[in-house]
Each structure stands twice: as structure tokens, then as C-alpha cells.
Amino acid sequence: MTSSHTMQYIGLLLLAAILLQTIAVAVTFIYFSNVLSTMKETFSKSSVSCLMRANLRTIKAQELNAAEGKDDPCWQVTQQLHFLIEKSMSSRYQKEISSAVKDQDDSPRPKIAAHVTGSYIPEKDGGGQPNRKVYGQKIQSWESEKGLAFLQNVELSDGELVLPQAGLYYIYSQTYFRHMLIEEDESDREEEDRTLGESVRGKPMLQYVYKKVSSYPVPILLMKNARTTCWSRDTEYGLYSIYQAGLFQLGGGDRVFVTVSNVSTIDMDEKSSFFGAFLVS
């Protein structure tokens, strides 16, 4: 065999080896591609099947038996799905809560309230004197800052609460009466004894709550309470309280104030005599 024939024979062997190797690689690639495609399709169908037939009872059973559940592909699919749902819902509600809190902080609802209490400051000149437009005598010496008293977006002027905003207000008032008995002439006592009797006599106590509006010149009566009490001649003084409250629709700038039958008989202690209002809606 000549050298040329030998070279041709070797070349044919190399070409055959290359072709065989190429065919083997191609077959292997096609085989593994088919296997991967089959596995992917099987996994997809299995996941969908898990979701289609899943229910709360089976999921609960799998959660109670974690060791068995972890070996089940359906358990893994449902766990991942639950995790994604919880994460999505948590993120959504967290944004909504943050937005609501921010809106509340940016625009807080205004608070309108006042609670004024009795004060032993002497009345102003002319204060407490009868007014032909109202019943009784107006209490002017209310305390608005010390002790239990406060003003929140409400002004106190001349014994009157000035309400800044229209709305439904709860208004309340209590006055504490301390009646002192005055010694009388013997003739007056004998006359009174014949009229009322030996052991008792009475004095009326009245409390009024008024409002003032800019569109009407005369104050408007909102509430009235009265009490007449009898006590023994031997009593040095009598203590009686009157309380009343109610809901009223008021306009912006309206004023409310309290009058009593005799302002000099009021015990102006902060826990006994007080007056207030606050916005309901």
C-alpha cells in the first residue's frame, strides 16, 4: 500500500469519527430537550392540578403534618402561592394604612370645647345686675385658664362663650347656691309665722342658659331650671345645686351665657359652679 492510499484511509477514519461524534451530540441534545420539555409540562400540569383540587381541608391537613407535606409537590405549590398572596395583601394594606394616617395627620379635625369654672373675682361694674332683656343676673366672673378650666378654640368675653363654628353643640351648666339666713325683726317673724308656719320657709332658685345671635337683638332662652326649697329656721345656711344640659344647633359667632335669680348667692367653687360647651358635629 502506497503512502497516498494510507493518507486517504486515515482521512476517511477521521471524517467518520467526526460524523459519529456530531450525530451523538445531536441525539443527546434532542433527547435531553425532550426530557426537559416533558418534565416542564408535567410540572406545569401538576401545579395546575394542585390548585384545581386544593381546598382548605387538605391544606390544613398538610400544615398539621409538615414532614409529609414537604415531600408533596402540591404542598410546595400551595405554600408558595399563599406566601405570594400574603406578601401582596400585606404590602397593599400597609400602603393604605400609611396613606390614611398621613391624611389624618395633615388635616386633623378641629376641636372646639370649653369648660369654665367659678371664680371669686369680684364682678365688674354693673356685672350681675338685672337686665330687662333676660331673666336673672348674668354670671360674669368665670375662670377660663386655672385649675379645671380650659378653652379650646373658644373665646370667653364678658362671661359669654363665643363659639367660632356652626354646628351641633352640647351645652351644660351647674350653679351652686348658698343661701344665708338673715336675722329679721320680731314683728316680721311673727307675720311670717302666721303665713308660712313656725318651722319652714322657702326661697326660689333659678338658672337660665341664653344664646345671643347677631341677627336678633334680644338673647334667646335655651334652658331654664328652677327649685324652691324649704328649711328650718335653726339652719344657718342652705346648699342647693341646679344642673341642666342639652344639644343645640348654633351658628358661627353665637354666644352663650348663664344667668341666675341672685348672683350673690352663688358659691363660685370650681367643682361646684361651672359652665361649658363642646362641638358634637
Residues 6+ apart with CB under 8 A from 244: 172, 173, 207, 209, 223, 224, 225
Longest dimension (CA), the chain: 173
The answer to whether residues 277 and 256 touch, using CB atoms and an 8 Å cutoff, is yes
DSSP string, 157-178: ETTEEE--S-EEEEEEEEEEEE
Cα angle value 80/82/85 (rounded, 5°): 110
Q: 24, exposed or middle or buried, with CB in 10 Å at 0-12, 13-18, 19+?
A: exposed
- What is the distance between the alpha carbons of residues 41 and 34, in angstroms, rounded to a whole number? 10
Name the helix (H) or strand (E) containing 41: helix 3-53
3-state secondary structure at position 197: coil
Is the distance from CB of 227 to CB of 266 less than 8 angstroms?
no
- 230 annotated to bind ligand: yes
Q: What distance in Å separates the CA atoms of residue 254 and residue 78, rounded to the nearest whole number?
A: 65
> Which residue stretches of 54-135 are H helix?
56-64, 66-70, 73-106
Q: Where are the beta strands (DSSP E) in the chain?
A: 113-118, 137-138, 142-143, 150-152, 155-157, 160-162, 167-180, 200-212, 220-232, 237-250, 255-260, 274-279
Residues at the binding site for Zn(2+) are 230
Residues at the binding site are 230
